[in-house]
Amino acid sequence: MNTSAELVIRFADLDDIPTIGYLAQQIWPVAYGAILSKEQLEYMLDMSYSPDSLTDQMTKQHHHFLIAELDEDAVGFASFSVTEDEGVHKLHKIYVLPQTQGTGVGRALLSFVTEQILEEGATTLRLNVNRHNKARDFYEKQGFQVTKEVDIEIGNGYQMNDYIMEKPLQKAED
């Protein structure tokens, strides 16, 4: 990372929906181009990142979105929420522009999420990752372990073939 570049992570709001959608359009084809068909990629982008879908996630599903900015340019985002399982929060999304991967932005987003949910009493952070996504390596380096394999029907004849990964959390001793 350019040492003079300032990384800022902030909570996103409804005004950030176009930015999140734009980032997803830049990141997903690189992240999933070799894993998913072009049709499934487009279907899932529309399903998860259309303005209506993002509005629903923020307002009705109570997902908290974050934006990572380097020198005021948005370079990544994440979202998380509580689950029905006591003490378990879910990391729904964490994506960083390909040219920014490996610079610590993803780790910074994950740390920010962890700090937030520890304040809410979280004991576990859970996520889904495509079984063929190299991001699994990133998560394992961050302390996540595969707990389950799932195939999730998402409509249009498509499935998500994921690992569920979890990381136990504990507050740092003061």
48 in any annotated domain: yes
Tell me, what CATH number does 97's domain have? 3.40.630.30
Q: How many helices (H) and strands (E) does the chain have?
A: 5, 7
Percentage of the residues of the chain whose pLDDT score is greater than 70: 96
Q: What's residue 2's pLDDT?
A: 47
CA distance linking residue 167 with residue 47, whole number of Å: 27
pTM attached to this predicted model? 0.92
Q: What's residue 90's pLDDT?
A: 98
Mention every residue, 6+ apart, whose C-beta is less than 8 A from residue 115.
Answer: none
Query: Of the candidates 90, 94, 110, 101, which has an alpha carbon nearest to the alpha carbon of residue 164?
Result: 90
Phi, psi of 157 (to 5 degrees): 80, 10
Q: What's residue 129's pLDDT?
A: 95
CA distance linking residue 76 with residue 101, whole number of Å: 9
46 in any annotated domain: yes
Residue segments in the chain with a per-residue pLDDT below the cut of 70: 1-4, 172-174
161 in any annotated domain: no
Q: Helices 17-32 & 51-59, crossing angle to 10 degrees?
A: 110
Q: What's residue 171's pLDDT?
A: 73
148 in any annotated domain: no
152 in any annotated domain: no
Write out the residue range of the structural domain in which residue 84 sits.
7-127
Please give the tally of structural domains in the chain. 1
52 in any annotated domain: yes
108 in any annotated domain: yes
162 in any annotated domain: no
CA distance linking residue 144 with residue 162, whole number of Å: 14
